[in-house]
Amino acid sequence: MKYLLVLVAAADGALTETHFVMAEPYVQVSSKVVWLKAGKAAEILLENPPPRPLWDSYRGLLVQDRIDAFIVSAENRKKKLFVSDMDDTMIMGETLDELADKYGLKEEIAAITVRTMEGELDFQEAYKTRIGMLKCSRG
């Protein structure tokens, strides 16, 4: 079975061939880079997925450049659906923070968002809190 390494840059990030060159110590690359969208998304054929510790190390290098990495099966692959985190990946900003601005709650909700992204707060609880604040403000 063959696999594809797929890299996707955040909305404000830039993907380059260097990100694939960085993969060489971690994965056995067997093709050239295929660009899905220049500077944003690309894939390359792999012989085998890397062992988990190597994969985690490689992904750790990509995080600093705001690049997401995936390994998927290359067999019977037709791209029909792309699923991605929207906030600060596909769009600039956090959706709940922007909604909160409409209700005069941006500072309070954005502060919760920041603390959650920094790992200080539980994601699910922070989400419920922010949604609750928005619901209450609608009257």
Summarize pLDDT for 36-75 with one digit per residue, the tens.
999 999 999 888 888 888 888 888 889 888 899 989 888 8
**According to the model, what pLDDT value does residue 128 have?**
94
- Cβ–Cβ contacts within 10 Å for residue 59, how many? 14
- Give the confidence band of 90 by pLDDT, cuts at 50, 70, 90: low
- Give the confidence band of 107 by pLDDT, cuts at 50, 70, 90: very high
**pLDDT mean across residues, the chain:** 86
Q: Which residue has the higher pLDDT, 48 or 89?
A: 48
Scan for tokens 């390359």, then name that residue: 44
- Assign a CATH topology to domain 3-73: Alpha-Beta Plaits (3.30.70)
Sequence ranges of the chain with CATH classification 3.30.70: 3-73
* 3-class SS string, the chain: CCEEEEEEECCCCCCCHHHHHCCCCCCCECCCCEEEECCCEEEEEECCCCCHHHHHHHHHHHHCCCEEEEEEECCCCCCCCCCCCCECCCECCCHHHHHHHHCCCHHHHHHHHHHHHCCCCCHHHHHHHHHHHHHHHHC
**According to the model, what pLDDT value does residue 139 have?**
62
Residue 26 has pLDDT above 80, yes or no: no
Identify whether the C-beta of residue 33 lies closer than 8 Å to the C-beta of residue 42: yes
pTM over 0.95: no
- Give the confidence band of 108 by pLDDT, cuts at 50, 70, 90: very high
